[in-house]
Structure 1
């Protein structure tokens, strides 16, 4: 049984635990009322004389701190709200927290005793103490304004008359108490989904109920479903949504074709991952009489099928994105749409929304056209197939298709070179991929890099997204933008401090010098043992890209206007972008931004949750893979250094685990924060960020997604 499950008593000796926080909460809930000690004691269910005396004492302390004022003798009122702020809680793994407030320059430190039952990512009201010299800003959480989540995945520890759910989330610091009537059919040791229903002020633990039994810990499907539910992501469609989708008219009528530009005769093909089933985009290619090229970027016309104010639309909005886990895709749209009706499969007519460019051989854009089309895809290529054409190692592909791909590759390289010269940053980060057996067990790990075929598709999708956003943005009409702010100067300084130890540097004197030096850094580290670590740290130094109606441009791409238009099967913002583009092509007036801004915010949040779930699934598979390699030595790079140990990333498969400081037995090591190193006290041996080391597997924990290594010392 977890230590956290035991109940606490509000009163201990001659003190009442967290009394100051409880009193402040009472004042916050009665902000315009004068309250005396008897009223406060009554609201806190304190009935004994000793407890009331403690309330009187605490009121005087709060008055001395200027947190309440004595308006009349014995009657108190909350001070004006100048010391109160709203913000988001970020709980640390040690149980303390920080509140991030937009109105304050620095985050507010919240010791665990002042959390007042707030959980990670909750929106709260916080009281900020007057800051003392050389002290970090500290505060108390006085009210929870909005819970970020109330459902948690965890393992049930069941006793005779009750149970506790021990959450998987390491930032959830309290186990959930479950009474007998709320246990459902869950058994001891089951992995479950539990919902918090109440959290009494005098209880250390929240009360909850089990809403779903997921299965036994360690079972593959149980763990994958746990990852999805942990982030509030669904893994099946409601029956009414599936039923609605199955009844959609899917035949392409002559009447519908008559409303569109007919491009079925143009040479058209798709290039996608070999295991893809949802083909969002296709390219068409034609040489014009003037010698220029007509290039069509054709995108599945999802908004033709997904109409507003329908069950399908509501579900697509709620999901906002498809989720790509290691062994499965959780689609935004039901399979009949995502893999069938909307997927641009070969040898089938499809309805599309297209961007058509006229370009010269130097990759200069001469004309553009936007509108709805109908196409016929002649061929489906995997990236590997297209790469063979580019490298000249393929046979059996029709000459027109080969010439189209080679010409598009040449144009894409010119577009990319021009984009880089204008300040774009080249993030070609490697992807960890798995070979799975028929039971979804990992039997191999490999690292996938972006090659010319990938970059060909990328450049034309970027160009389409840019030109659509530019077309509307210059008309000053409300639209959906994908923005990326400039990097935080403090984060760049931190990055500089780390990469200096490897002999690299960045120049942050100007925007141009920053992007150029970042590109040089990414190029210089490519293929080196420390590459993945430095690429990851560089990405973390960047701002996060989000959706919004307020355009500020995209720093990483060096575009003044950018949107997401090219993947409506898997991204809801693209569906909105399609609808708005058609609205404006039809002569519509600018729409109100507020409605779309709220949808942009929701889409950004869902995208973030999906990316966390995707990372967790990779981590889970890496640990599962390493379970069968406990007798093998691996070469790795130290990717992180903390006071409790070092993180090591294996070079060949990117699996990351921890070597705990207590397991390094050759010396007594201490953490040197300035050097990002552990230093031995006897022989001064140093284990520093970026050092290459040899490790073996010590322990694999699938439930906690944690991997421990032993260090192989010389």
Structure 2
């Protein structure tokens, strides 16, 4: 006797889950097709529904959404979204060819957008994006671009590839995912594989079609130092030279110091004074003076080049300095904020010359306690120019010019430093590298920069001056609103979530960090523990990434990293425009001036912060270029590395020996299929369950270097 097959019944929770899934799909369809109408049958096809129950559920969902006002019926009977979609303005971060993120102050999370939904916006463009799917369960919100607000740039640097009837320019930037089509008559005199600047003349609105452009400058043969550095300068909008009018304006400034120039200046020319700078420094914008007083205390002066005396408001030099906002230090050159006559001449505190300065002077005891302070314009005469190496010898041996003064200043600097850390300053001693270059700019070696007492001594007195100037204006200024408008350098407290993630990564190396207690103390303890260990550089970089970014602002907030209630930049006006602003404002208030208007100062603060970031990005790009060039000679060699970053398309590995970073692409890992665990910054093998995460030690082989994209490709070396 045959048994009747029992009818399979759907469990209530399965039915509920199925209905929810279809409802989410319906919402997704209408979110992605704003303003479009769909009939019941069209939606069945769009959602790929096959069984009768799903189709019935769809019908109930549609009528339910209509009754709640979420959908409306058009005159032709089709459904249309009844909601006005949410739009957010933000900046495109086009991370790879398939998708981008939109970064916006209006959204806590970055918004994920497919490249096809970018409306032909590219990296750094400002767009309006429509949220099509809210974020949840650790997933970012999704959206699509509905309006291109503004283009970030229309000129790009790249390598030109010539054919008989046309040419293409392949942009250097890894965030630009298209080539630019150029007709032969628009290439100027470029040769195949030259680096060029190309300007977009027509943006195509069809998929898979390149924009059209014309070459505006030929930078030289790809791979050559001048061409590559000029490419970086062009990419970041850095000037190649000063306009002739600016050089002329600088040339007209008198070199002699007149009696009028000395008016209202305190004379420090008879006080022992010297500068301490890097060996290759061309401008010296700060000097120290020291004088023993009758009561046993010391008056220590921090003297800064008086740039504001020469660069006056509304002048051509002022406008150029505002625009540049900062000097930029690439691996083989400096792009100065001021013309050479000022930066290396009039404003450089060269030895055995009278120089106009702006000074912060402090009466201190040998324990570093400040008993009196004075700020104002001065004139100095430097007795000696020390390199850091020279000063270090004097500190260590007690021999040579002004060795006693150097040792005393170093002793006081140690007391100031100890007090700063006791008050909660964070000790970020990041490892920086520099290149030994030959006469053609080719890197011969990567050398870590070593910071000794001479460096830290100068740093400590500069920090003292910056802090005391900011505190003076904040505490004693009595403007119309209860405070003077001033320029501060602020640094917010770290984001708790980022700090928590960082502590988890540090734990992988066996380092514990308490994020619920004294954060500064925990960070300093960790920094001490990792000093000299292989993971030092990776953890230092990650710690810095978990911190907020320092910025210029008129808001008198504190500086977390330095543990100062108030801080500014007073000590480098030759290379930073905000320091010029600080000098002007300080002098204005010392002369009894009223509080200035906030908005113009804040606008210049924002601009200076942006230019500072751009300069840092350009400097990193030049370092990356030299790293790639340096590693070209090491193809096929094996190195020990540490995982410094994890993304969905690969893992970044920092080679311990050279401090150069490369990528192992997931597509090249042939022992398994690896999935990206974004939340935990790791990849996991689907079959073998192997986990590779931030901080892991790996053996890697250098397999490819790409100068154009400034990338190093690595392979994992399979170990027994």
TM-score range, shorter chain: 0.7 to 0.9
Separation (CA, whole Å) in 1 of partners of 2:104 and 2:693:
34
249-258 or 676-685, which deviates more: 676-685
Q: Pairwise mapping of residues 660-679 of structure 1 onto structure 2 (< 5 A)?
A: 660-661=665-666, 663=668, 667-668=671-672, 670-671=674-675, 673=677
User: What residue in structure 2 maps to residue 57 of structure 1?
Assistant: none
Asked whether 1:482 is paired with 2:489, we answer yes
1:439 to 2:414 alignment: no
Are the counterparts in 2 of residues 472 and 479 from structure 1 also a CA contact under 8 Å? yes
**Residue 657 of structure 2 aligns with which residue?**
652
Is 1:102 the equivalent of 2:105? yes
CA contact (8 A) 1:21 1:142 kept: no
1:316 to 318, 321, 324: 321
Pairwise CA distance, 1:174:
2.4
Report the Cα distance in structure 1 between the residues aligned to 2:217 and 2:561, rounded to whole angstroms: 42
How many Å apart are 1:636 and its aligned residue?
Answer: 2.5
What is the distance in 1 between the residues matched to 2:112 and 2:182? 31
Match of 2:498 in 1: 491
| Number of the residue aligned with 1:386 | 391
Distance 1:639 1:304 in 2: 46
Match of 1:171 among 175, 181, 187: 175
Counterpart of 2:289 in structure 1 is 284
Q: Does the 8 Å contact 1:432/1:653 carry over to 2? A: no
TM-superposed CA distance for 1:645, in Å, is 4.1
Post-superposition offset of 1:354 = 0.4
> Aligned-pair distance for 1:436?
1.4
Aligned to 1:504: 511
In the other structure, the counterpart of 2:464 is: 463
Residues 527, 614 of structure 1: CA spacing in aligned structure 2 closer, same or farther, 3 A cutoff? same
User: Are residue 139 (structure 1) and residue 143 (structure 2) matched?
Assistant: yes
Q: Greater CA radius of gyration, 1 or 2?
A: 2
How do 1:684-695 residues align onto structure 2 when only pairs under 5 Å count? 687-695=692-700
Residue 625 of structure 2 aligns to a residue whose secondary structure is: helix
Tell me, yes or no, if the aligned pair for 2:324 and 2:611 is still in contact at 8 Å. yes
The answer on whether the counterparts of 1:641 and 1:677 sit within 8 Å (CA) in structure 2 is yes
1:591 paired residue number: 596
Q: When the two structures are aligned, how many residues end up with a matched partner?
A: 654
Q: Whole-Å Cα distance in 2 between the matches of residues 416 and 68 of structure 1?
A: 65
CA contact (8 A) 2:276 2:385 kept: yes
Contact 1:430 1:450 in 2 (8 A): no
Of 180, 183, 186, 2:187 maps to 183
Q: Corresponding residue for 2:124?
A: 121
Contact 2:31/2:133 (<8 A) preserved: no
Contact 1:648 1:659 in 2 (8 A): yes
Aligned equivalents of 2:70, 2:223: Cα separation in 1: 50
SS at match of 1:283: strand
What residue is the counterpart of 1:405 in the other structure?
406
Q: Is 2:370 aligned against 1:365?
A: yes
Secondary structure of the 1:557 match is coil
Within a 5 Å distance, the mapping from 1:263-662 to structure 2 comes to: 263-392=268-397, 395=399, 397-398=400-401, 401-474=402-475, 475=477, 476-510=483-517, 513-630=518-635, 632-661=637-666
SS in 1 for 2:200: strand
Does residue 1:93 correspond to 2:100, yes or no? no
SS at match of 1:625: helix
Give the stretch that moved more between structures: 115-124 or 586-595. 115-124
Take 2:432 and 2:293, find their aligned partners in 1: how far apart are those partners?
Answer: 39
Give the distance between the partners of 1:701 and 1:600, measured in 2 at CA.
37
TM-score between both structures, scaled by the size of structure 2: 0.85
Match of 2:706 in 1: 701
Residue 86 of structure 1: how far off its partner (Å): 1.8
Q: In structure 2, what is the Cα distance between the partners aligned to 1:132 and 1:681?
A: 26
1:344 is displaced (CA, Å) by: 0.8
**1:369, distance to aligned residue in structure 2 (A):** 0.6
CA deviation after TM superposition for structure 1 residue 653, in Å: 2.3
The alignment partner of 2:93 has SS state of: strand
Q: What is the rounded CA distance, in whole Å, between the counterparts of 1:120 and 1:106 in structure 2? A: 18
The 2-side partners of 1:408 and 1:589 are apart by: 37
Partner Cα separation in structure 2 for residue 138 and residue 658 of structure 1: 27
Q: Which runs of structure 2 are paired with 1:211-230 in the superposition (5 Å)?
A: 211-230=216-235
Q: Aligned with 1:635: secondary structure?
A: strand
Q: Residue by residue, what CA displacement relative to the aligned partner does 1:643-690 show, whole Å, maximum 9, x if unpaired? A: 54433222232111223445556x336246377555667876665433
Cα distance, 1:504 vs structure 2: 1.4
Larger deviation, residues 82-91 vs 448-457: 82-91
Report what 1:83 is aligned to: 86
1:208 alignment partner, one of 194, 210, 213: 213
**RMSD of aligned C-alpha atoms?**
3.1
Distance in 2 of aligned mates of 1:165 and 1:669: 35
Residue 256 of structure 1 corresponds to 261
Distance 1:67 1:128, change over 3 A: farther
Given that residues 362 and 373 in structure 2 are in contact (C-alpha distance below 8 angstroms), is that contact kept between their aligned partners in structure 1? yes
Unpaired segments ≥5 residues, structure 2? 1-28, 38-64, 478-482
Partner of 1:4: none
CA distance in 2, matches of 1:312, 1:544: 29
Conserved in 1, the CA contact under 8 Å of 2:674 and 2:683?
Answer: yes
Distance 2:90 2:75 in 1: 32
Aligned residue for 1:129, secondary structure, equals strand
Q: Distance in 2 between matches of 1:385 and 1:141?
A: 58
Question: Which segment is superposed worse, 279-288 or 239-248?
Answer: 239-248
SS of equivalent residue, structure 1 residue 346? coil
Structure 1 CA distance, aligned partners of 2:718 and 2:458? 46
Relative to structure 1, is the Cα distance of residues 136 and 533 closer, same or farther in structure 2, using a 3 angstrom cutoff?
closer
CA shift, 1:574, in A, is 0.7
Deviation at residue 284 of structure 1 after TM alignment: 0.4
Provide Cα deviations, 1:211-245, integer angstroms capped at 9, x if missing partner. 21111110110001111111111121112211221
Whole-angstrom CA distance in 2 between matches of 1:351 and 1:276:
20
**Cα distance change, pair 696–98 in 1 and its aligned pair in 2 (3 A):** closer
Contact 2:675 2:685 in 1 (8 A): no
Number of the residue aligned with 2:162: 158
Give the superposition deviation at 1:701: 1.5
